[in-house]
Structure 1
């Protein structure tokens, strides 16, 4: 493995890492119930995906 002869400064390290950042997930609206959901996922509220029932949700009374 390579071993550096000289220590890289914190500034130099941080300049390299400027592009490592979290990205906000893309949000959409459920076509069935209208709640906001992440794109390409099943709706947590009603269980629909692309207009079809994907997961049956139990009704708690």
Structure 2
């Protein structure tokens, strides 16, 4: 396995890591309730996915 001979400087390390970008998650509207949801995931507000009702709507992360 390759091992570097010299320590990489902080500026070189940070300039290399500046290319580590994240992409925003893809959202779509639910066809049954028109709420925003993640693609390929059951709707968190109505529980529907692909024309079927899968689960009760459980919104625990945003409840106050």
Q: Aligned pairs, how many? A: 58
Q: Which moved more, 1:42-51 or 1:14-23?
A: 14-23
Q: Which moved more, 1:6-15 or 1:36-45?
A: 6-15
Q: Which residue in the other structure is 2:32 paired with?
A: 32
Return the TM-score normalized by structure 1: 0.74
Of the two, which has the highest radius of gyration?
A: 1
Q: How does 1:2-41 map to 2 (within 5 A)?
A: 4-41=4-41
Unmatched 5+ residue regions in structure 2? 59-64
Unmatched 5+ residue regions in structure 1? none
